[in-house]
Amino acid sequence: IVAITNSEVFLLIILAFIIFISMIILYKPIFYIIFDEIGASVSGIRTNMINFIFMLLTAICISISAKIIGAFVVSSILVLPVAAALQISNSYKNNLLFSILLAIVSNILGLFLSYYFDLKPGGSIVLVSLIIFFLITIIKKIIK
C-alpha cells in the first residue's frame, strides 16, 4: 500500500469517482433489485443491465485494487466493513454509509498502526477491520 505510484493513486481516484457517480445514478434501481428482483423487473427496471453494470464495476474495482494494494486487503475492505455495518444498520442507506465509514476508519487506523509500530500496512488494515467487526458483534450481543 505504501509503495504505490502516483499513477496508481490517480487510477484509484478515477475508479472511485466512476463508482461514486454510478452508485448515485443507480441507487434506486439497485436498492429495488436487492430487495425484490422480480418486482423490479415487472416494474420496468432492466435488472439484467443493472446487475451487469454492478458486477462489471465490482470486477474492475477488485482487479485494479488487487493489483495495487493486494487481494487480501481488498477482500477485507469489501467484506468486513459491510458485515460490521449490517450489525448496526437498519436500512440499506445506513448500511451503505456505515460500511463506507467503517472502511475509512479501519484503513486510517491500520495505516497509523503500521507506521508507528513498523508493521505491514495490509495486515494492519485487515486486523483493524476484523477487530472492529468483532467489537460491533460483541456489543450488539451484549445490548440484546
Looking at residue 34, its pLDDT comes to 86
Q: Which residue has the higher pLDDT, 72 or 52?
A: 52
User: What are 72's three cell numbers?
Assistant: 487480501
Class of residue 38 by CB neighbours under 10 A (exposed 0-12, middle 13-18, buried 19+): exposed
Q: Which set of grid coordinates corresponds to residue 42?
A: 415487472
Work out the average pLDDT over 24-52. Answer: 92
pLDDT score at 53: 93
Give the pLDDT confidence of 59-76 residue by residue, as tens digits: 888 888 887 777 777 877
What local confidence, expressed as pLDDT, does residue 1 receive?
57
pLDDT for the residue numbered 70: 76
> Can you tell me the distance from the alpha carbon of 118 to that of 91, in angstroms, rounded to the nearest whole number?
39
* Mean pLDDT rounded to a whole number for the chain: 89
Once rounded to an integer, what is the mean pLDDT over residues 12-22?
Answer: 91
Confidence category of residue 5, pLDDT binned at 50, 70, 90 = confident
Q: DSSP string spanning 50-93?
A: HHHHHHHHHHHHHHHHHHHH-HHHHHHHHHHHHHHHHHH-SSHH
Grade residue 22 by pLDDT with cuts at 50, 70 and 90.
very high
pLDDT per position as a tens digit, 90-108 = 998 999 999 999 999 998 9
